[in-house]
Structure 1
Amino acid sequence: MTVVAITGASGLIGSALTRSLRDRGDRVIRFVRRETRSADERRWDPATGLLDPASLADIDTVVNLAGAGIGDRRWSTEHKRAILRSRVDATRAVVGAIEGSGRGIRLVNGSAVGIYGDRGDEILTETSDPGTGFLSEVVRAWEGSAQPLLDRGGSVAFARTGIVASPSGGAFAPLIRLTKFGLGGPIGLGRFYWPLISLADEVSALTFLIDRPDLTGPVNLTGPAPARQRDIARALGTAMGRPAFLPAPPLAVRIVVGEFAGEITASQRALPTRLTEAGFAHQHPTLAEIVRSATADAITSA
């Protein structure tokens, strides 16, 4: 039995990972900001850096997924600051507690393919240079907060997650809702790449990283075949039996979601090179399989 502590355990990925780890017999400890309510919860306050090293005394691995939502509201100056600060503060608190514990605790730290910026048709692997833009800056600072632990010989993996395909939350859920009403067409020409991964594969990949403390540094958590957004829109329409051919002008998207539109239309043809080389096998390797996994519940409730 592995004892895994998770920050951000109430989110889309964190809650699915918690269920999966418990199902396989692991013990999961959730770190919460409020007063604890059960034996599987422990208190922390990332904003102030409060995480008692003693609370990690029985922990084998920390999975740090804490951070303010990126696509759940318009980007005001204040919210952009919260996106950056919440990730950096949480990671610093976790790293400080791991170092203070004096134990060789594995850290699987949240990250994102947003680090690569808008790269067109360029194939992106973990050896690719960072790009430019707000999210690239955020991810560089996010990973940079744990880099000192890695540099000192700690077991740290940066889980650079792509777009998780799920109807329950994240950046993909709104597209499923739009498709349900026949409005899920391509954005502009839809030529940009979206690095999708199914929620099941995201959870499996994180579990793989938990079990492989020798796999350190950046690891792309994406499907093996990133697709253009227009093809994703078409696949969604087919899976849900809805039209998906009317394009949404990029200007209209910007009017609706604000500055985040620039990230929605960023092209990231990211490949999970290190995962596959390490022996990870995707449950949903193709676009059709990813879309079917994400739309099953949506189709049932249509």
Structure 2
Amino acid sequence: MDIAVTGSTGLIGSALVARLRADGHHVLRLVRPGAAGPDSTASDDTASDDPSSDDTAEWDPSTGTIDLGALEGLDGVVHLAGAGIADSRWTEQQKDRIMSSRRLGTTLLSTTLAALARPPAVLLSASAIGYYGDTGDRATDETGAAGDDFPARVCQVWEGCTAPAQDAGIPVAHLRTGIVLDAGGGALAKQLPFFRVGLGGRSGSGRQFQSWITLRDEIGAITFLLERAAAARGGDGTPVTGPVNLVAPEPVRNAEFASTLGRVLHRPTTIIPMIGPRVLYGRELADSLLLTSQRIVSGVLADAGYEFEDPVLEPALRAILDR
């Protein structure tokens, strides 16, 4: 397959590029003018292992420019780029940066794909389970209603900006990703130093649900969706479209996550006072990250036939940490 990727230097993007190359596919990375490497994603800046091995095409959402010809005839586009939602406290300026990066980039890409003579077989556009807001103890699949907090509003705008591609008949899937677990980046990498010295633990009551997915299942699910769309273009089945919750089958409460990670690391766990995160990140961001309960499940992936490599938390953490 010929696949274009935005945000190809982040935790997810770099792993996806490596997997696609290993599987024999060709990757076109969309990069900003003058950039030494591809765009960063919403979560990380980690570079892929050999960026020179792939082709690049320029795009610049801030000016609305993109290499139109490079996108003709692709088998799929994976759009991951966007400002990190947890990079710094949510000032009004930072909130605008988060929202604008998603609106401008997704709109530019979507309208460009809609204008192609040979559009891709699918657009997989990043989103997040933040779409649902706080779901409490209620198990919520892709039919769940949107929330009304800042992350939910971001996700709604983000997904809405793919409308030009959808209106042009391009199959579009919104990748509503949960907490991606990997030792090399993301939330787990930030937690590990504290847990390794016995200072990690639950946040607040610990009863809030966390919906998680390992990095290898995140990449596995994305490649599964790409392959499904390519097969559909060849007349075999139909592509998966609409919202797709990229989460493992078993969400866990925050206290269970903390105790499981402590057990895997053979370290005690404690209670994390919220005063520290609130001082560091501001109350709104800290509470959104640590106290929001999201019991999200994925009906779409299960119905499509995707088989998780890491469906259960403790074996997943042991595999990630080689324990």
User: Larger deviation: 88-97 or 120-129?
Assistant: 88-97
Give structure 1 regions of 4+ aligned residues with deviation exceeding 6 angstroms. none
Deviation at 1:51, TM superposition (A): 1.3
- Counterpart CA distance in 2 for 1:73 and 1:57 is 37
Of the structure 1 ranges 224-233 and 286-295, higher mean CA displacement relative to structure 2 is found in: 286-295
TM-score, normalising length: structure 1: 0.93
Unpaired runs of 5+ residues, structure 1, are none
Q: Is the 8 A contact 2:111 2:164 kept in 1?
A: no
User: Matched residue of 1:109: which SS?
Assistant: strand
Secondary structure of the equivalent of 1:29?
A: strand
* Partner of residue 39, structure 2: none
Task: Please tell me whether residue 178 in structure 1 is matched to residue 222 in structure 2.
Answer: no
- The one-letter code matched in structure 1 to 2:22 is D
Counterpart of 1:225 in structure 2 is 250
CA distance in 1, matches of 2:104, 2:315: 37
| Deviation of the 1:152 alpha carbon | 4.0
| Structure 2 counterparts to residues 1-302 of structure 1, below 5 A | 2-35=1-34, 38=52, 40-105=55-120, 106-213=122-229, 214-244=239-269, 246-258=270-282, 259-264=284-289, 265-296=291-322
SS at 1:124's partner residue?
A: coil
Contact 1:71 1:171 in 2 (8 A): no
Aligned-partner Cα distance in 2 for 1:97–1:73: 31
The alpha carbon displacement at 1:162 in A equals: 0.3
The one-letter code sitting in structure 2 at the alignment partner of 1:157 is A
Matching residue's letter, 2:280:
V
Measure the CA separation in 2 of the matches of 1:247 and 1:238.
15
Runs of 5+ consecutive residues of structure 2 not aligned to the other structure: 37-51, 230-238
Separation in 1, partners of 2:108, 2:206: 40
Distance across 2 between alignment mates of 1:147 and 1:123: 28
More deviation in 226-235 or 250-259?
250-259
Q: Is the 8 A contact 1:194 1:269 kept in 2?
A: yes
**Whole-angstrom distance in 1 between the partners of 2:29 and 2:296:** 30
Identity %: 40
SS in 1 for 2:278: helix
The CA RMSD over aligned residues, in Å, is: 1.5
Alpha-carbon distance, 1:36 to partner = 6.7
Counterpart Cα distance in 2 of 1:115 and 1:224 = 18
* Conservation of the 8 A alpha-carbon contact between 1:36 and 1:43: no
TM-score, length basis structure 2: 0.87
- Provide closer, same or farther for how the CA distance between residues 61 and 284 of structure 1 changes in structure 2, counting only shifts above 3 A: same
